[in-house]
């Protein structure tokens, strides 16, 4: 979905979008990010401010990710508000200033007067995901020996072999020396 900014004036214009789960294309780089758990809705307005365009929006939906500890999928509620300033002037000012602006995630430079809504929404999803994925504060994770998901029950590894996790750590330290 592309919005032609030439049709946008100082008067905020409203856009409502619904993205079906099939819209998401997973990127192989991070297989912990699975995809939307049902439709995602985006409500936003765009208005012109000087030579820039300002997007104010809110994304709502559930998103499936994989827990860092037990690797089970679970759904996160996403409801980020976002504001983006679209700078359509070519950045021809001093290098330092340019880098400073580049670090500001709310400023985008766009070459032409077209806003790619799919790219923008994908980016907002990534920005709103947490750094760590935990299905629950008390997630027990996987047994380091047999790989069993300890949230679903205990295994007998510890009782049979003592404390394998600790002896493994000891071996690692010896090897490093």
**Residue 54 CB-density burial (10 A; 0-12 exposed, 13-18 middle, 19+ buried):** middle
Q: Is 128 helix (H, G, I), strand (E, B) or coil?
A: helix
Q: Shortest Cβ distance from residue 60 to Zn ion (Å)?
A: 24
- 37 with 14: CB under 8 angstroms? no
40 vs 128: CA distance, rounded Å: 13
Smallest separation (angstroms) from Zn ion to the CB of 170: 19
Cβ neighbours around 34 below 10 Å, total? 17
Smallest distance, Zn ion to C-beta of residue 62, A: 17
Q: Which residues are CB-contacts of 31 (< 8 A; sequence separation ≥ 6)? A: 66
Please, what is the minimum distance in Å from the beta carbon of residue 116 to Zn ion? 35
Is residue 169 helix, strand or coil?
helix
Which lies closer to Zn ion via its Cβ, residue 8 or residue 157? 157
Say if residues 50 and 122 touch (Cβ distance below 8 Å): no
In angstroms, what is the minimal distance from the CB of 162 to Zn ion? 13
Between 48 and 148, whose beta carbon lies closer to Zn ion?
148
| Residues binding Zn ion (CB under 5 A) | 67, 69-70, 135, 139, 143, 145-146, 148, 155, 157
Residue closer to Zn ion, measured from CB, 128 or 151? 151
Comparison of 113 and 150: residue with beta carbon closer to Zn ion: 150
Between 46 and 139, name the residue whose CB sits nearer to Zn ion.
139
């Amino acid at each position: 979905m592309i919005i032609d900014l030439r049709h946008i004036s100082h008067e905020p214009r409203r856009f409502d979008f619904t993205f079906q789960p099939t819209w998401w294309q997973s990127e192989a780089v991070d297989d912990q990010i699975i995809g939307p758990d049902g439709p995602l809705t985006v409500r936003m307005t765009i208005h012109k401010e000087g030579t820039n365009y300002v997007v104010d929006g809110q994304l709502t939906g559930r998103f499936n990710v994989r827990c860092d500890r037990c690797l089970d999928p679970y759904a996160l509620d996403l409801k980020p508000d976002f504001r983006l300033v679209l700078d359509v002037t070519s950045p021809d000012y001093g290098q330092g200033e340019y880098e400073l602006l580049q670090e500001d995630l709310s400023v985008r430079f766009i070459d032409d007067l077209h806003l790619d809504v799919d790219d923008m929404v994908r980016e907002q999803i990534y920005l709103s995901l947490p750094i760590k994925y935990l299905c629950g504060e008390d997630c027990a994770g996987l047994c380091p020996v047999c790989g069993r998901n300890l949230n679903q029950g205990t295994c007998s590894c510890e009782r049979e072999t003592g404390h394998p996790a600790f002896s493994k750590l000891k071996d690692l330290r010896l090897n490093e020396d």
